[in-house]
Structure formats: structure tokens, C-alpha cells
């Protein structure tokens, strides 16, 4: 699906009719947004812009030269966008092509920041005279959404921390939830760093309008603060994870302590019963059972009392 935003009669209109590209001038088009496009759509846009669009494989390359490149007439930038889910976050690569002041975006799935901007363009058409400003707004909105995601994750961290302090739901499933939150935080941080690389490269561009450089520098400062925030949040998660592991280990140690104590309590009776289970006929106490049984009882009780006192003295009970 391809959506074309173009100027007509003092306003901005949108269409999905690619045949209209044959009638429009490049100066009239602001943005060509392509979602999961087919070959015919891609070729039509390439013919209109007079440049080659990137493939999906080229967009997902991780080398710096593939993330950003520039020719005499066009800028090619690839960056990742985080898509939050109920539990697990995912990453979507978006390609940006700026050619003759026209922004072309290539992506596979719908994105919230794009939908918000499209509504703004239709509501305030005079605010978006060219594709460079649209591109700058997409990056700014994306940074704001990343900040919102970090804030949401920080609230989850605070919630988990309270549960740990109250001793609620401290088990292996809780530890898995913390690990998933760590993975999401790492994904968001990777996404922010990727945008930092792209914006830093654009600031060195010879084509990008100088009047928009200041806005990109502000976004770059915001990204730096978000990176510091994610680092702090990740340290909190590590501390929380270590605390939960320590609590789980303490609970397991208590269980092992109980089993150890029970084993120790049963050892003296086992020893005594084993001793007196031997054949005692012919001994001096054979004809005096009223003496044998009290002695056996004392031998059974005294070791148990001694072991309990030793454990209490060493604060093991």
C-alpha cells in the first residue's frame, strides 16, 4: 500500500492512486509512504523520483555505510522503530529517502508515529512545506514515544520493586518477568542509539537544510538524556534481579535447613535404636526392664535437646 501526500489548491491531499504520479510535479509532492509494497508500486515511485529505492535486505544492514548514505541529490537513512507489545517488544526497520525535497518511507507494518503525523499534516498543511520537515517531525515524535516507553517501563520497575519489598510473588515466574523487562529495555536502548547514529550523520549532510539542523541537535540532546535514563533503569533492573535471586536462594536455604535439622534429629534415635536393636540377652540389665527403658528414653531425648540448643545458639533456627 502506497499513500501519496501532495499539495493542491492550498491544502494537502492524500491518495493511493499511483497513476496520479504521472500528472503531479515533484515540487507538489511532500511524502510517499509505502507499506509492504509490491514491485510495481516501487518501480512507479522510482520512475517518479528518478532514483533507486532500497530493498528490505539493504535497509536491515547494520554497517554505518548502510544506515546512512548521501548522493548529490538524495539522502538514504535507515533506522529501527520499536513496536511495544503486551509482554515482548519488537523492532521494525524503516527506510527514509529524501530526494528533491520529497520524503519517501518504506516499511512493513503500521507505526503509531506515522499515523499521528499524517493526521497533523492534514490538519495543519502549512506547517509542512516539504519532506525535510516531515522527516524531522517523524524523528522528534519517535524520540517522544521512546521516552514514553521508558517511562512506562520505569513504572513497571517501581511496581516490581514494591512487590519485592512487600515479599509478594517472589518466585521464578517473577524473575522471568524481570528478565523480559530487561530485554525490552535493552531493545529500546538499542533503538535510541540507532537514531543517535542516524541524526549525527544527518548533521554532517551537505543537502539537509541548515535551518532544521538546530531541531535535530535538540533531538540529539534528548536522545543522550534518554540513553542515560535507560542505563540507570537497567542498573535498577540488575539490582532488582540480584535481590530476587538472593531472596529465592534464602528461601531455598531455609528449606534445606529444615531438612538438615530433621535429618539431625533423626540421627540419634536411629543410632540408639540400632544399638539397642542388637541382641542384649546375657547383659546385666536383661532382668531389669524398668532400668533399660528410662535409659533408652534419655538417650533418645537428650541428643535432640542438645542439637536444638546448639542450633539456637548459633542462630540457625
Question: Residue 62: its pLDDT value, please?
Answer: 53
Give the three-class secondary structure for 99: strand
Counting residues of the chain whose pLDDT is more than 70, the rounded percentage is 87
Nearest to 173 by CA among 44, 259, 87, 99: 87
Q: pLDDT of 153-184, one tens digit each?
A: 888 888 888 877 777 667 777 778 778 888 88
Question: Residue 279: its pLDDT value, please?
Answer: 59
Chain Cα centroid distance, residue 8: 43
d(C-alpha 314, C-alpha 312), whole Å: 5
Give the three-class secondary structure for 287: coil
> Would you say the C-alpha torsion 143, 198, 202, 135 has a positive or negative sign?
negative
Asked if 34 and 104 touch (Cβ cutoff 8 Å), the reply is: yes
d(C-alpha 219, C-alpha 196), whole Å: 9
Helix, strand counts (H, E) of the chain: 8, 7
Question: Residue 122: its pLDDT value, please?
Answer: 80
CATH superfamily assigned to domain 2-249 = CorA soluble domain-like (3.30.460.20)
Q: What pTM, to 2 d.p., does this model score?
A: 0.70
Question: Residue 56: its pLDDT value, please?
Answer: 63
Question: Residue 282: its pLDDT value, please?
Answer: 52
Angle at which helices 131-166 and 112-123 pack, to 10 degrees? 130
d(C-alpha 60, C-alpha 96), whole Å: 12
Question: Residue 284: its pLDDT value, please?
Answer: 57
d(C-alpha 228, C-alpha 171), whole Å: 30
- Domains of the chain, by residue range, sit at 2-249, 255-313
Under-70 pLDDT residues of the chain? 54-66, 168-169, 275-293, 296, 316-317
Cell (9 digits) for 284: 546385666
Question: Residue 131: its pLDDT value, please?
Answer: 82
Question: Residue 316: its pLDDT value, please?
Answer: 66
Amino acid at each position: 500500500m502506497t499513500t501519496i501526500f501532495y499539495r493542491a489548491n492550498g491544502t494537502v491531499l492524500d491518495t493511493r492512486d499511483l497513476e496520479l504520479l504521472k500528472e503531479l510535479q515533484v515540487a507538489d509532492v511532500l511524502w510517499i509512504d509505502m507499506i509492504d509494497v509490491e514491485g510495481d508500486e516501487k518501480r512507479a515511485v522510482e520512475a517518479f523520483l528518478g532514483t533507486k529505492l532500497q530493498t528490505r535486505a539493504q535497509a536491515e544492514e547494520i554497517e554505518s555505510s548502510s544506515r546512512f548514505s548521501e548522493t548529490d541529490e538524495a539522502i538514504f537513512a535507515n533506522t529501527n522503530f520499536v513496536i511495544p507489545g503486551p509482554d515482548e517488544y519488537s523492532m521494525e526497520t524503516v527506510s527514509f529517502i529524501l530526494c528533491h525535497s520529497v520524503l519517501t518511507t518504506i516499511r512493513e507494518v503500521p507505526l503509531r508515529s506515522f499515523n499521528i503525523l499524517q493526521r497533523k499534516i492534514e490538519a495543519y498543511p502549512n506547517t509542512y512545506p516539504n519532506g525535510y520537515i516531515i522527516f524531522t517531525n517523524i524523528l522528534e515524535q519517535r524520540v517522544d514515544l521512546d521516552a514514553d516507553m521508558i517511562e512506562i517501563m520505569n513504572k513497571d520497575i517501581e511496581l516490581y520493586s514494591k512487590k519485592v519489598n512487600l515479599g509478594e510473588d517472589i518466585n521464578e515466574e517473577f524473575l522471568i518477568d524481570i528478565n523480559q523487562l530487561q530485554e525490552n529495555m535493552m531493545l529500546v536502548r538499542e533503538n535510541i542509539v540507532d537514531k543517535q547514529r542516524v541524526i549525527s550523520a544527518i548533521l554532517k549532510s551537505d543537502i539537509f537544510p541548515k535551518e532544521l539542523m538546530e531541531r535535530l541537535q535538540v533531538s540529539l540532546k534528548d536522545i543522550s538524556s534518554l540513553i542515560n535514563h535507560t542505563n540507570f533503569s537497567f542498573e535498577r533492573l540488575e539490582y532488582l534481579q540480584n535481590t530476587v535471586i538472593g531472596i529465592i536462594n534464602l528461601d531455598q536455604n531455609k528449606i534445606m535447613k529444615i531438612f538438615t535439622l530433621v535429618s539431625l534429629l533423626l540421627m540419634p534415635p536411629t543410632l540408639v535404636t540400632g544399638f539397642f536393636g542388637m541382641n542384649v540377652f546375657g547383659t546385666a540389665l536383661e532382668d531389669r526392664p524398668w532400668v533399660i527403658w528410662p535409659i533408652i528414653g534419655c538417650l533418645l531425648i537428650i541428643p535432640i535437646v542438645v542439637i536444638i540448643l546448639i542450633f539456637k545458639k548459633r542462630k540457625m533456627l
